[in-house]
Amino acid sequence: MVEPLPELSTEQSDPRYSQIDRLPTEQIARLMNAADAAVPVAVAVAIPAISAAIDAIAARMEAGGRLLYVGAGTSGRLAVLDASECPPTFGTDPSLVQGVIAGGPEALTRSIEGAEDDAEAGAAEMARLEVGRLDSVVGISASGRAPFVLGAVAEARDRGALTVGLSCNAGAPLSAATEHAIEVVVGPEVVTGSTRLKAGTAQKLVLNMISTISMIRLGRTYGNRMIEVSAMNAKLAERALRMVRDITGADLETSRKALEEAGGQAKVAVVMIEHGLDADAARALLESHGERLGAALEKVNGG
């Protein structure tokens, strides 16, 4: 039986904020800032569960699976946001990490009433995406009870996918429906029930961890550098050039020339400079080492 909505901690009213409409702007801002400061503490409590989920996700991605986020409302928008940042940050194909929001793309900019209550639509999305046993599906719901999300993870689990539930209430139905339960209990919101606030912040922090650490585990960074970045605009070109110079110690002209010949791919340029290869040979070397720059450099250096 689904827990009555008023009993959820994210729906309760905090008496500390009961008179905020009568307070000066700066005092309200300080109250909100103090409330937000509690969010990372709540996330820290959940780190063991977060870490276990990430290891399971990365293992499936290493085997060729995708990472799919599913949410409704604010949770769905955060899902799409995190997924959309992976290609420019980690050089991934857009299909590798995807965000699914109840109500479809239109729901990104306006509320689609009733979309989150449609469990069958959530299941249908998993069928449409042909979710399979190598995929990982992360259901995101502040309450932990959105039917669209529950329907999606149930279908994904039936299809053999890894399922993860991210919610902001203890003992959420989403936790019971998934293999890995992540509960970040942030308590009542400054504006009662407005889970775009602390709950949304908590979800964003956890999604940052899931995508970033998964990509680190997959070798899509070199140290703390975004080595998969491609120089597709002026800012990224400057970042890539600086990265190539920092890693190789090469001068400006050598680094710029290698980066141009590499088609803007920083890690290809690094291999070219470090081992005196042309772009095609550098790409072949990287491919033979699973696209991991560190492994390719160590191997050639006799490591």
Which residues carry out catalysis?
85, 116
* Tokens, residue 156: 């994904």
Note whether 20 and 28 are within 8 A (CB): yes
**How many Å apart are CA 107 and CA 115, to the nearest integer?**
9
Note whether 97 and 83 are within 8 A (CB): yes
What does R_g of the chain's alpha carbons equal in angstroms? 22
Note whether 53 and 123 are within 8 A (CB): no
The count of other CB atoms within 10 Å of the CB of residue 5 is 11
**How many Å apart are CA 161 and CA 131, to the nearest integer?**
7
The one-letter amino acid at 111? S
Phi, psi of 100 (to 5 degrees): -120, 125
Task: Give whole-number Cα distances, 260 to 60, 219, 264, 270, in Å.
Answer: 34, 23, 6, 12
Proportion of the chain in helix, strand, coil states, percent, rounded to 5: 55, 10, 35
Quickly tell me which residue has 């689990």 as its tokens.
Answer: 157
Phi, psi of 18 (to 5 degrees): -65, -20
Which helix (H) or strand (E) element contains residue 69? Answer: strand 67-71
